[in-house]
Structures are given as structure tokens and as C-alpha cells.
A and B are shown apart, each in its own frame.
Chain A
Amino acid sequence: MRNLKALIFFAVLTTSLQAPAADWRALFERAGFLGKYAIGASYEWAPEHAVSYLLGNYQIEDEDFYQSNLIYRYSRWNTDFFGHHWRPLQFGFFLVYAMNNQKYFLKSPDKYPYADYYDETALRYGVEFGTTLTFMPSRLGLGYYIRVFDNGVIANFNNSKRDLQYYISSGLSLQYLF
């Protein structure tokens, strides 16, 4: 499972790097599993396809830690909305990676009794649905995303009649289209 996650991570990254130049966006996001606040950039090599990287912060006992976030986003519809650009329904995958190796890990640390004592905890993934409106001519954008965390989907799969309320998060994104 860990190798599969790494493969998806690098596949998305490699695809984005090989793409021809297109639009860039600067991103500032609140919550949505990406951190209390996250900043980063989005690269759109076609109107339908974008990949984003954001660095987010999270807190444990008021101490700040950081996480890397990678998102692939597919926008089937791009439409005009009173002169602004609107992507009414977007779908994507996200990866979140905790950069605090003291608390989260990809491989169970040696201090535990045997290898793979714990499953990895640092890298998680999920799916997102969202919508983005880019105001013209200011080029400022506003996005709203609902993300579903993989851990909850697995729990839901294993437990009938269990809803996902604790595994869903809203994310609000402020963007600037270059």
C-alpha cells in the first residue's frame, strides 16, 4: 500500500512536470485537511487538468508543524459566469504528507518490537469535489472544496450504516491567476 501511494504521488508529479507551459495560480487555502493554512501554486497544463502543491501548517499543543500537499484536479466544465470564469464541478485526488518525522512515519520505527509494527501514518490520501470561480478582470479566484479522507472511507467500508461526518472537511481557497 505504501509503495502504491508513492507510485501515485510520483506519477502525478512527473506528469505535471512533462506538460507544456500553461496557466499558473497562486493559492492560499484554509483547512480541507491541507493544514490550518496552506500556501502554494497550481499548474494548469490544460483547462481540464491541474496539479497543485501546497505547504500547510498544523498544530500540536500550539507548536507548528508542516505538511506537504499534492492535488490533481480535473475540471470537466469551464464556463462563463456573468463575465467571470467558473468551474462548477471539479474532481480530484489529494495526498497529504506530514513532515514531522518525530510523530509520523512512512516506515514503522526500529524502536518497536518488529518490522511493520505500525502501518505508515505520514502519508494519507483522499478525493475531493469542488468548485472554483475566478473573477475577471481582477484574476482573483475563490474555490470551495469538500475532501474525503481515505481512513474514513475504509472505516465506512468496514462498518455498515456509518456516515462519513468526521472524515469530510471543507476547504476554502483564495487564488490568483497569473
Chain B
Amino acid sequence: MKKILLVLASFQLLSSCAPFVDSPFSDQLLRPERGLNAHATSRIPNVSADGVLRIAVFSDSHQNYKELDKATYTINQTKDIDFVANLGDFTNSGYNLEYDQFIDAVEHIKHPTIMALGNHDAIGAGLQLFRKAFGPTNFHFESGGYRFIFFNSNNLETPDDFSPEWLKDAVTSSSLPVLIFSHVQLRDQDRFFGKDAILLNDVISNNKVKVIFNGHNHVYNLIMDSGTVMMQCGRVEAPGDAHWLLVEITGNNFCVKRMDTKESACETLKL
């Protein structure tokens, strides 16, 4: 009996080497954090306290953790950021292991960090994993005279959770200028047709909407559309330094600085 107990104890010792992960396909997370987006928004101070709204934006890190580490390091070195917005695609296949790895990679960001759902994060059990770790995919909050809307634009991956009607209501019900954060560009012609495209056009052309941020296409792009700044963030992995954006809004002035090339461009916002 002693020998058997010895063997069992050895198994117990060995089993402490690695966690018991049931399946890569399940919605089981090893990381214990829950409701991360709500926690982050609760930490956001009055974003206009110093007269400047500063947002760090990054997107499409997928499994490029080395570049992500560079981006989070430089974000941490940057002072007076009001919050950090991640525009999604922080996994390749939406596996629970990738969610765990990403949460581990961004947990040391000092500033409040809010996540949008990317299309790659939404396949498999991704939607359930996102809700478990970060919370709802469509939500908004207000601070410093702005309404910030995070919108799930992944209509093909999460058709039941995709609601342009909700987005339009969130915009029209606001008495404040609106900034929208979405993974997919709201003019994406591969995804949005008919009624959806009409609703999203109503959102883009609504004069309360000042800036719409998106990722997904992996390249930096800044345009004006119906009086709205359409700010597309490239992927984190870039030839130079890691790609992320530092956006500063002062009064009517919108200024964005690319942190991979250190080039900056400014567009005027008509608030």
C-alpha cells in the first residue's frame, strides 16, 4: 500500500507541472480575470480634465506577442494617456489558450485598457470567451463631455450579436459628441449590404459622430467621410517599431501620431 501511495504522490507532484486544460475548443479560461472592460472604464478619469483627450490605439496583434510587448512598453512610457483602446484581433483562431496568452500580455498596461472584439477573436468559442473575460461586446460610456461607443462589427462571425440598430440608437440617444471603436470599418463592402449598410451610413453621417476607429485591414489609413474622421489603425507588427497610434483631441483639433514611424498627421474635427 505504501508503494502505491508513493506512486500516487509522484503523480500528484508531476501534475502540478502544468494545469489541466480540458480542450482548446471550450470556453474554459485559465486566467481568472472577468469583466475587464467594465473594470477599465471604471478607472477612466475625466478625460478632459487637462483640456486634451489622449487615447492610445492598437489593433490586430494576433499572436505577435513580441511586437505587442514593444507596443505595451512604449504605451506605458507615454504619460497622460486617458485610456487605451484595442480594436480587436488579438488571437488567430479564437482559442481559449490565445485569450489566456493575450490577457497575460496586456495585464501590465498601466492605463485603463478597453477591448473591442475582432473577427478572429469571434470564431469558435471566441464570443463566449470575450464575454467571459471582457464583458459585453456592445457598450458605451461617457467621460469628459464625450460618449465612447465600442461596437461589435463582426456581422459574419456573430450575427446574433451584431446590431447596427443598437449602434444607431447609442449615437442618436447621446447628447454628447461620439467616438466609435470598431474592429471592421463601417464602410466595409465585403460585409455590409442593404439595411445594415444604410444604418451604418446613418451612423457615419450623423453629425454627433466625430471619429470612428477601426482595425481589421492591417494598414494605417486616415480619411474624412461625411464629416467624420475615419481612423484606421494598422496591425501592431510593423517593419520599424511596433505600430500603435497616439490620438490627441483638443477642442476641434484631431491629431494622430503613428508610433512606428513617429510621423504625425492632424485633421480638424468640427465639434
Contacts and interface: CB of A to CB of B under 8 A. Distances in A.
B82 interface: no
A50 interface: no
Interface string B31-52: 0000000000000000000000
Given A142-B11, A149-B97, A58 B18 contact: no
Interface centre among B19, B24, B25, B191 (most CB of A within 10 A): B25
Contact of B17 (A100, A111, A146, A159): A146
A121 interface: yes
B23 A36 contact: yes
Interface stretch (A7-15, A70-78, A169-177): A169-177
B65 interface: yes
- Chain A interface extent, by class: 35 or more
Interface string A54-67: 00101111000101
B200 interface: no
A59 B24 CA distance: 10
Given A60-B26, A166-B100, A119 B66 contact: no
Interface in A31-49: 31-36
Interface residues of B, number: 41
B95 A151 contact: yes
A56 B66 CA distance: 34
B3 A170 contact: no
Contacts of B120: 118
Interface string B124-154: 1100100000000000000000000000000
Interface string B175-193: 0000000000000001100
Given A59-B26, A61-B27, A159-B64, 4 more contacts: A35-B22, A60-B125, A144-B14, A168-B19
